[in-house]
Chain A
């Protein structure tokens, strides 16, 4: 499922600093709740990974060991150890382990480049650690956590139905 053009046009106009703050919040919240991620990554935690949503002019570079995420416009993306590109919804579904990475690869919806050992380690680590974005991020919404979680789950349900 590709994000609707009207939505991508809006998202691509959001200043990078704002996207960076949101990405930081999501990333820090997620790794705080799933520290076991690093155990499975082993030495690959020190590598740099890039995730590029095909439908957005954004690129996310993650450094697990440094617990850092950095957002770039596509043309300014730095060199990394391993990279994956595909529709934003597909990347998020893979993050949560709701899609099988091999099946998505076979379908050619996902492009992989670079250090495949590192990428495979990250895939397997993510698959095991049970990210659930609506639940993981809900605490950040404070008193609105239940509403946020419910809304996010509905959005996810709709998005996943678009992939199936």
Chain B
């Protein structure tokens, strides 16, 4: 299976390519990609260099244009699509149907992937995107069990990519507005969930308190592993209970289910983490590549230890096993 790896900077791109990525996804330094964080992402010249670096090593470059176009600002997304095509990106990863239509019409030869942010999670939705815009691949939302993925794969005419490792959303990808309720910005429209400009940490005795736009959203006791300052992973007081109402601070890891995913018809595994440092990218890509090249029985030894790099230092198989129903 193809291993799709994240790169938030040119340095991370080089690390991913050298560590064994089959393809690397990245985005521009603006609202067109869902990891629009300060100091992160690529200028157009940096993307051109990255594509060349990847191509020289047989590594493809996928450009994420996976936010939804704002009314009146569509040109920003159209320009980004044109720049990515001109840079030689092997694929554009798109969420907004209007942008898919634009790419399909203006660049009919360009390979189009449907982003996880498009939230296409059933056969009809996928077939519609394939027949309407010529989408060649679809990144499935992290809401499906492996049998559900298999049922979809049997009835669609495109490649399927799934997230295998890394950060985990609250399973409403492309539709989550939690962040915008308190910050005015969301991953869908601005490319940021819990924008750093609204995040503050403070020490309270031996506890670490995280705040988003002035709201306390979590308190970590001494030595307790921390998570990202997102509302979905905040601790809430509900009735008589204090705890995680939506989701624990935890990361995805389905490397123990590679055979089942391959049998289900998945053709590509994606690593989340464009916001992570190059050290993380290098380590995770190298270990997952080794795991993919190993016999199933030997796989666990390669993935061991990655848990400590994960949010909350814990991992889960999430909806792929859907143990909660």
Q: Is the CB of B38 within 8 A of A120?
A: yes
Q: Across the interface, which residues of A come within 8 angstroms of B208, CB to CB?
A: 108, 111
Contact flags A97-117 to B (C-beta < 8 A → 1, else 0): 111111101111001111111
Least CB distance from B158 to A in Å reads 33
B199 to chain A: closest residue by CB: A116
Contacts A117-B195, A122-B39 given; does A106 touch B227 at CB 8 Å: yes
Interface size class of B (residues with CB under 8 A): 35 or more
Flag whether A136 is at the interface (Cβ < 8 A).
no
Q: Is the CB of A116 within 8 A of B311?
A: no
List B198-241 residues whose CB lies under 8 Å from chain A: 199-203, 208, 220, 223-228
Bound Cα distance from A41 to B280, whole angstroms:
21
Contacts A100-B280, A102-B277, A113-B201 given; does A127 touch B12 at CB 8 Å: yes
List B234-292 residues whose CB lies under 8 Å from chain A: 249, 275-280, 283
Flag whether B9 is at the interface (Cβ < 8 A).
yes
Flag whether B313 is at the interface (Cβ < 8 A).
yes
Contacts A108-B223, A111-B208 given; does A99 touch B275 at CB 8 Å: no
Q: Is the CB of B311 within 8 A of A106?
A: yes
Q: Across the interface, which residues of B come within 8 angstroms of A41, CB to CB?
A: 39
Contact among A122, A123, A130 with B277 in the assembled complex (CB-CB below 8 Å): A123
Q: Is the CB of A100 within 8 A of B39?
A: no
A113 to chain B: closest residue by CB: B201
Q: A113-B202, A124-B39 are in contact. List 16 more A-B contacts (CB 8 A).
A: A42-B38, A97-B278, A100-B279, A101-B277, A102-B275, A106-B310, A106-B311, A107-B225, A107-B226, A108-B220, A108-B225, A113-B200, A114-B200, A116-B197, A128-B11, A128-B278
Q: Which residues of A contact B (CB under 8 A)?
A: 40-42, 44, 97-103, 105-108, 111-125, 127-130
What are the 3 closest A-B residue pairs judged by CB atoms, nearest first? A124-B39, A100-B280, A121-B39
